[in-house]
Structure 1
């Protein structure tokens, strides 16, 4: 199964695409969608939306996951990030993908084993879990972590569903 993870940001939205075959994960691609800070907000949101749509069209994931927004001290920044999350959620939804959402601490716990892991620890584990990956930047590394988290949960959910079906057949 192919997953895309998305790490929303107004300046840079990270994306990472991975494949899961059983419990084995492999890297497909990663990168960043950048918006022009000189443009008005609506134009920047469009740039992000179109960039994410282009990635989805190119790599054809079967499921998507987006990091949830944390609240900043600056309410204006928080509102803008919420708008970015909206367009980032919309792109895979319009493409017919189910979209999982995960809190930052949940992603860290899924990838590193600790909910308060540092970014360096997360990026290190991404490299371990996806051998030979060349990460294009911090936002892309975070997006790969989101995709890994979603792949782990999807595998668990499939195993649970199989067990429930087997238990019902008994």
Structure 2
């Protein structure tokens, strides 16, 4: 599973292997960096080549990308959106399915709380992957969180129902608090998308 935290100056990337029983194994984490002084097209090409090289090297089954939301800083959101588009295009070029996840969905999946602080997410990623320290920079930790979130989504019994809400497979609960928080975060994100 390849997670991508899109960005133009630093594009976080993280690869994990998802096993039975929600077991997760760390494979790779890092960032694709592009110099702000370079022309935009050169920077986007560097992001594209970096993601493509990771796909070739690690052969992930799917790609998870953070869903871009408007921010106050227009320049930042434009770069993020452009890098996100590159990530989606490269995944499609390699024939890989893509999952888009909002920050609140990822936080809920990793910590059980959709409004968790970035430091909490990093600490939980460290614990889940049994690492000695929080992955750095934060973009790499966020990419790993995205990969874990998407991997767990496919391996813990979540089904996509016709109404579009993620619900646990089978009747009668069995959800963990983190899964409930995740489902609520997904519902909220769906309402925001419908309203926009």
Same fold (TM over 0.5): yes
What's the TM-score, normalizing by structure 2?
Answer: 0.77
Alignment partners' CA distance in 1, 2:145 and 2:132:
12
Distance 1:137 1:75, change over 3 A: closer
Q: Quick check: 81-90 or 125-134, which moved more? A: 125-134
Q: Which moved more, 1:148-157 or 1:138-147?
A: 148-157
Q: How far has the Cα of 1:160 moved from its partner? A: 4.5
Task: Specify every segment of 5 or more residues in structure 1 that has no aligned partner in the other structure, as ranges.
Answer: 165-170
Do the aligned residues in 2 keep the contact of 1:27 with 1:133 (CA within 8 Å)?
Answer: no
Partner of 1:51: 50
Residues 33-83 of structure 1, C-alpha deviations (whole Å, 9 max, x = no match): 011211111111111110111111111101110001121113343223211
List structure 1 segments (4+ residues) > 3 angstroms apart after TM superposition: none
RMSD: 1.7
Structure 1 residue 111, shift from structure 2 partner: 0.3
Normalising by structure 1, what TM-score?
0.88
2:2 matched to 1:4?
Answer: yes
In 2, Cα distance between equivalents of 1:127 and 1:66: 20
2:40 paired residue number: 41
Q: CA separation of 1:132/1:76 partners in 2, compared to 1, >3 Å: closer, same or farther?
A: closer
User: How far, CA to CA, are the matches of 1:127 and 1:156 in structure 2?
Assistant: 20
Q: Give the aligned partner of residue 101 of structure 2.
A: 102
Matched, 1:20 2:27: no
Helix, strand or coil: the match of 1:61? coil
The 3 A distance-change label for structure 1 pair 57 and 132 is same
Q: 1:131 to 1:115 in 2, by over 3 A?
A: same
What SS is found at the alignment partner of 1:13? strand
* Gaps in structure 2 of 5+ consecutive residues: 161-168, 171-196
- Equivalenced residue count is 160
